[in-house]
Amino acid sequence: MQRNPLGKTEISISSLALGTMTFGAETNKVDSFRQLDIYVDQGGTHIDTADGYAGGKSEEIIGEWISQRGKSHAITIATKGRFSPPEGSAGASRRSLIHSVDASLRRMNVDAFDLYYVHGWDPQTDILETLQTLGDLVDAGKIKQISWSNVSGWQLQKIVALASSHGLPSPVALQAQYNLLERGIELEVLPCCLENNIAVTVWSPLAGGWLTGKYAANERPADHTRLGEDPDRGDGYDYRNTERTYTVLRLLQVIANDHNRPITHPALAWAVSRPGVASVPVGARTVKQLEANLAAADFFLSQEEMSMLTQASALEALPYPYNFLEDPCGMDIWKVLGTRQVRNLAN
């Protein structure tokens, strides 16, 4: 499996990470262990979790697996704190973060985290307090690298600037929702990451299941699917028909058929190949689903296929000032010309 540098660090992580949000919730311990074994056996090196996943059970399962199997030096562990910890108080205050880190270390049976994400912005806490706390946790040897998730461009730049001016650890990674149907980070967040050499890791690369091809236009999701079981899931997407969504799905299917691959493979390959992206976590409820996703590791899109998917998924109506800009930072979010031509090909 391809490995990519983690920002400005000397750490490299596999292009496909193992997302473990299902562990302890939709996936029992036995099958979670099987997923971990399969992932590592296939060359995966980056395991991603959070203290809020399944009320801490995801971390506990990974901790038990580490205790039984041991932790290879090649494997990096990332967890997160900020939202809904199993105990204590939520937030990014000094008290909350220290408590959350210590509790996660106990659950996972490790001495330190390779990567620790603050799971989101905390408007109730001065960001300098958060950064100073993270610096103390790094000095104490409990965290090796810090990172953030779910922040805007101005928030991320403020974090970077304050860390630099106060001599504190700066984020080396940013985890955000990013896929062919959700490209909003390209407006500010991704350029900010590129400017500061911050690696991007992706959550929801398959758009909450939409890019698996199992949801059809004007049809309610089947009961056995995630959206069928819970229509409020799907990371902001629903089953209602939109031209852009189904144009992207049709084009993905064409590319997948050309290569005799499942539709998920070109969707994942697109995310893996985007500028600044270091790793794309793939999570699964079942071992079969995980194996299917991991098989995308050796699939790469041609330049033409990449361009067609990028154009077909372009945001249609950009607000000022983005509609005034002319691709000033090497990104293609503003390149909407030619989109209609690609859509016609996909119809």
pLDDT digits (tens, 9 = 90+) for 111-168: 999 999 999 999 999 999 999 999 999 999 999 999 999 999 999 999 999 999 999 9
Answer whether residue 344 is part of any domain. Answer: no
Answer whether residue 234 is part of any domain. Answer: no
Across 205-218, average pLDDT: 82
Q: Is 87 helix (H, G, I), strand (E, B) or coil?
A: coil
pLDDT, residue 314, reads: 86
Domain containing residue 97: CATH number: 3.20.20.100
Answer whether residue 169 is part of any domain. Answer: yes
Active-site positions? 53
pLDDT, residue 216, reads: 64
> Which has the closest alpha carbon to 46: 22, 9, 16, 6?
16
User: In angstroms, rounded to a whole number, what is the distance separating the alpha carbons of residues 35 and 339?
Assistant: 39
User: In angstroms, rounded to a whole number, what is the distance separating the alpha carbons of residues 327 and 321?
Assistant: 12
Across 229-240, average pLDDT: 53
* Residue 70 confidence class, pLDDT cut points 50, 70, 90: confident
Four-CA torsion 286, 108, 80, 30, nearest 10 degrees:
10
Which residue blocks in the chain are alpha helix, DSSP H?
29-41, 57-69, 94-108, 127-139, 153-165, 189-195, 226-229, 243-259, 264-272, 287-294, 303-312, 339-346
Q: In this structure, what token pair is assigned to residue 161? A: 């600037």
Answer whether residue 173 is part of any domain. Answer: yes
Using the predicted structure, report yes or no on whether residue 88 has a pLDDT greater than 90.
Answer: no
Using the predicted structure, report yes or no on whether residue 100 has a pLDDT greater than 50.
Answer: yes
pLDDT, residue 337, reads: 32
Of the chain, the percentage scoring pLDDT greater than 70 comes to: 86
Complete DSSP assignment for 310-343: HHHT--S-PPTTTTT---TTS--TT--TTHHHHH
pLDDT, residue 218, reads: 55
The number of folded domains in the chain is: 1
* Residue 242 confidence class, pLDDT cut points 50, 70, 90: confident
Q: Is 203 helix (H, G, I), strand (E, B) or coil?
A: strand
Across 55-73, average pLDDT: 93
Answer whether residue 218 is part of any domain. Answer: no
Answer whether residue 115 is part of any domain. Answer: yes
Answer whether residue 96 is part of any domain. Answer: yes
* Residue 298 confidence class, pLDDT cut points 50, 70, 90: very high
**Could you tell me the residue range of the domain that residue 38 belongs to?**
3-207+263-301
User: In angstroms, rounded to a whole number, what is the distance separating the alpha carbons of residues 309 and 262?
Assistant: 16
Name the residue type at position 290: L
Answer whether residue 249 is part of any domain. Answer: no
Q: What is the mean pLDDT of the chain?
A: 88
In Å, the largest CA–CA distance within the chain is 58
Using the predicted structure, report yes or no on whether residue 14 has a pLDDT greater than 60.
Answer: yes
